[in-house]
Each structure stands twice: as structure tokens, then as C-alpha cells.
Structure 1
Amino acid sequence: MSAVPLDLTSADEASARLGISRASLYAYVSRGLIRSFSSPHDPRQRLYALEDVETLVERKARFRRPAVAAATALDWGLPVLETSITQIRDGRFFYRGEDVLALARTASLEETARLLIGALDEQAFTSPSRIPGPLPGPAFGPHAFVAQAVRLLSEPAPKEARAAEVAAILRLMAAASSGADPGTEPLHRHLASAWKVPPQAADAIRRALVLCADHELSSSAFAVRVTASTGAALRNAVIAGLVALSGPYHGGMTERVRAFLDAPGTVPLPGFRHRLYPEGDPRTAALLENVPLLASDATTLQAIANASGGRPGIDVGLVMLERAYGLPAGAAFTLFAIGRTAGWLAHAIEQRGQATLIRPRARYVAADGTPARQSHDDP
């Protein structure tokens, strides 16, 4: 059973504190901004996390001051873009209304890509591959994999229908890791075969790809949407997401996690808290289900849980999966990137359909710290 915050409040009190109607309160809950729980005294009554209410009160006060609002809106701020792709709410997340944890039990990445993008030809991944050869050798980890994937995505490409283009991009991402053309083989099986891992690892790889496919407006998804909003090609939008993912505070966190697991206590603890999941990242438990963790990794997890209550994020889960099945070092990042490509494609296509340029304004501050008066908008 998940932990319940110590401080809870009623719907009337929460609404009054925020100065909103009950309908608006419920809307905040559905958007994942306020956690709700069944009352321990009356299961029919819902109570609301006071911490979340107070956070929103503080945000509302801040957003009454335009200059402060502009400076903080992109730092874990209130939602800034509308999307129909992924929703995170009450510690769960959904791809176009489908519970992702349930989806990950059986779906392939290809099926997930069709769901995320929508209106995609069902034959998209059964047509022959058009990856040009010869391909370079396998690559793993943020630096080598990103360099190889960018090279493949930057090659001249034929003009294709959307379904064929989506399939080609996903296959190129897998080929950047395996060094081989996946053809029409499901990508999780292709990777398992290329990496020469036990049969049971193929299903864990499949789950990893699905669970990593999207996560709402992450830094890399935002980079993709900004790029796509300029009218750039899908491949270039994916390159933008891939480069953003490689940073140590995003997908590159896997490298920090591996260093920690190799020598616990010698480097800062990474990847054990996620601001969207105060009670723990649900993706990690789904990812590691039935995975035979290394004894040392299982011991580390338990020690951290006992000492601080920290629960592992998806980065930790990916590295532990990599270590459990003897995947190539750096495969954790590779799985993250290949899986997330499905979401990037969905975001790029959705953004291009909105036909609007994402162009925020900056608040200039002089060398002496004095804010300058803004001029009119420029392109």
C-alpha cells in the first residue's frame, strides 16, 4: 500500500484555499497537480494533499506578477502546452487514455508507437526496411550512441509516407545500437538477438521500450516540439530530442546510476526521487518485475529504502536490468533513447499539426542585475 501524506484537507477547504470551484479542483486532480486519497474514516469521501494545495497557492501568487511568472514557468511550472498524447495523474500515467503499466505487459514498441501517434497505417512495420548499408558497428552509451544515431538520421532520406517514415526512424535508432538492419523483426527481439542475451531478457527489453516511450512534456519532448514547430523534418526533431536526452539530468542519468551501483557511497546518490512521483516511479516496479537482480543491486535498493525511503526511478531500473541480464554497458541509455523515439515522433507530429511556432520571450538582465525594459516581439 502506498504511503498517504500526513496532511490532508477536504474538498471545501482546498477549494477555498485556492479560491476556485470544486470543478476546478477536480480538474487540477485529473491533471496530476493535486493528489487525492480516500478518507480513512469514510471511503466515499476524497481528501487532498495539503502540500500540493499550498504549492499551487504559492504558484498562483507568483503568477500574479508577470515578470516572476515568465522567469519560472518553464521550471517545473504549470502546464504550458496542450497534448493528447500522455497524461500523468495520481502516480499513474496513460498513453492516449491507455494505462501504460497494463500496456507494458504485452505490447511491443511498434504497437505503442501506433497508439501514441494515432492514425498510423497498421502495416507500417511489416513493410521491408530501407536502411542503406553498410552500417557501422554497435554503439552504446550517451556519447557513442548519440553520435551514431545522429549520423544515420542525417543521411539523405527518400520522400516517404508518414507510416514508412516513422518505421524508418525507429529502425535507424535500433540499427545505431545493434549495427544491423532490424528489417521487419520486432525491435525488442532484434536487440535481444544482436546483444546475444538470454531469451527471458527479450521480454524485459520489450517492457523497457514501452515504459520509456513517452513521459508527457519532458525536456527532450519539449526540445522536439520546439524543433518541430519551426517546420523541421521529423528526423531533425528526433535528433533534437536525442541530444537533449543525453544530458546527465535526463537520460544520461543512467551513467551516473551505473557509477553509483559500481561503488555505492563514493558518488552522490542519483535517480532515487522523481518530482512527478512522490510515492515512487511506477515504471520501475513494472520494468523490474521478475528480473533477477544482482545480489549487490538488490542489497543497495533495500539499504536506501531503509535509510531514506528513497524509491528508484526509471534510470535506476534500466541500469539494474542491464546488469541483471549482462547487456552491453550503456544499453540502459540505448533502451531509453530507442523507446522514447516513439514519443518524440508523436510529439513532433502533434506539434506540426498545431501549426504554431514555439517562441518564448527572455527577460534581459544587465550585468549589474538591473532588468531592462523589453522591446516588441521579434521573430
Structure 2
Amino acid sequence: MNTTEKFYLPVDGILDLFNSFAAHPRFLTAHSVLQSAALTPVFQHPKVSKLSKTGMGIIKTVKGCWRRQDKRVIPRRSSSSGNRQVSTDRLPKSSVDLAELGQTKPRNRHRIVVLGAPRVGKTNILRRFLGEDYEEHYEPTVEDFYRKLFHIGGETYQVDLLDAASERDFPAKRRLTILTADIFLLVFSLEDRDSLDEVRELLSEIKAAKAKLLKSNHTTSVPTVVCGNKADLEAQRVVSRSEVVKILGEDVPFFETSAKNGTGLEGVFRALASLGDLPDETSPSQHQMIPILSYQSMCINKRGRRRRHSRGLSAPCAAVDPLARRPSFTSDLRLVLGSSTKHKKPEKCQIQ
């Protein structure tokens, strides 16, 4: 073999090599390209320059397939309500916890628990609070956990929202959820009287659980907002405002809402903010939504410079953490036991 022949390679050998990987999913697209290339007449021993152009074209095609296949997606949260996904290319490495960043005060962190009968619109109300659109398709919720982070007037706030729909059949689990909540949002449908009865029972259970946790013999005031949803379905309405006030009492903030057209939701969000001593700017209409990476960068850049901030310094903004997960039940149990010992050491676990 002379010097020139040493640089000659058969194209058929390259095609056979790539065809051996055709069964792999990553190579399905590339395989079809290679098959079409194999049908093109070529010389048995092409020159190096021609082979280089052909080989580079094949390599570029395969690399493109790899990049498309490697763009993995992960679920936004563990939930049964929808298949929304977020690319890992636009996510932080882990959940953004303002407490761990040292960027928020304990009084600025709240957990809102949403309870109510199925099919009353809890998920869509939460979607509105998160700045998302109404979703017509209904899919039963097992459990949804959201975390919305705010930056308002130089202060940071963290609001965790838990829709624990599956806990209706698990009293002990529901009791733990109730004891770890700071604020409650109870939702029923104006077209379903049974859903109102369930809210009444939930309200009684919440008051009893909180009173026992605090070792109080008196009725405990619980930060609660009640929503009578589906106000847009006036023709199907069976529950009147006067009936709600009679059943729940006048001390519970009550709003007639429509998650579909947004009626009454602004009042609900403002009431939740008031009960949690949060700024009015936490209402979706009062702040701008930004990507989670932008929010994280902003918090990191401002670390150690809290004293320089003043109220009204920057425009209100917020971000939803797509990697947030509900704390473990062990963590919640420790939280409950810790809060109960502040008043009096409990004789037994309050969850039972």
C-alpha cells in the first residue's frame, strides 16, 4: 500500500458502524439520514477530502440528535393535576428556600393550606394566585405543593401553598396538615350545598385542633378565608350569601368567587395577605412575575446588604419555585411538637 492509499477508507464501513446503533432511540433520526445517504452512489475508495465532508455531515447530524435527546424534562412538582413540565436548562440546581439563604424573616414565611370538597375549583384558584391561566380540563388532585417567593420593598417573603385533597380519607394525616398551617383557605361550590357542609365541618375541625394544640379551653380564632366558588354559574346556584353567613358566622371572611373569570379573587388574595401580615403587593395584580433563576440571582447579589434597603426601593416582583416539594411528615411533626411546647408540654402527640 502506498502513502496515498493509507488515507483511503470505505464509506460502507462507516455506514455499517452507524447502522449497528440504529436500534438505540437516540439514533432513530440519524439512522434515517444514514439510510438515505447509503442510497447515494459513491466510489469504493473516495479521496480524503470527499470522505471528510461526508463524515463531518454525518457527525453533525448525530450530535444534533444527541442534543435533542439530552434535553431532559422533569415534572414541575409531584402532582396529579396536569402534566406540566419544565426544562432543566432553566432551573436552579435545587429548591430555593429563603430561610436557607438567610434572606427572609420567620414572620415573613407562611404556609397556606387549601381544603374543600372535590371539583369545587381549588386548583384553579391556586393557579390564579401563581399567575397562571384558568384550566378548563378537570383532573382530580392528589396533592399539590407550591412555593411562591416575593421581593417587595427590599423585603423577601415566602408563601407555601398546600392543596391536600387526598387527606379527606386520612384523619391523622389531615390533622397534621391542619396543625402546621398558618392560614386556611376553605373552598366550596355555590352550586353544591354538600360542599358547604364539608367546609363547615372542616372549620370546626380546624378550630378544635388548634385549640388542643394551644391547650386552650376557649374557642380559638383561626386565620381563615372562605371561598364560595363558581359564581359565574348563576343559573345553577343553590347557596345564598345569607345562608353561608348563618352557617359559618360573621367573623369568617367570605367571598363569592369565580376562578374562571377572576371575580372576587382579588379580595381573597388581599384577605390572605392581611391575615398573614403580608403586603398587599403579594396579590397577583400588584407584582411582576420573573423567572426563578433571576429571583435567585437577585437574592444572592443582595446578601449581606439588607440594612441598605428601604421600603419602596424596588418594584414588587415574585417567582414560583418549580422544584419546591412538601416538607416530610417527620419535619412537620417536629414543627408541631415544637410549637406545642412553647405553651405547655403536651401529654401525648397532638396528631392522634
Give the TM-score category using the shorter length: under 0.3
TM-score, structure 2 length as denominator? 0.24
TM-score, structure 1 length as denominator? 0.23
Which structure shows the bigger proportion of residues in strand conformation?
2
Which of 1 and 2 has greater Rg?
Answer: 2
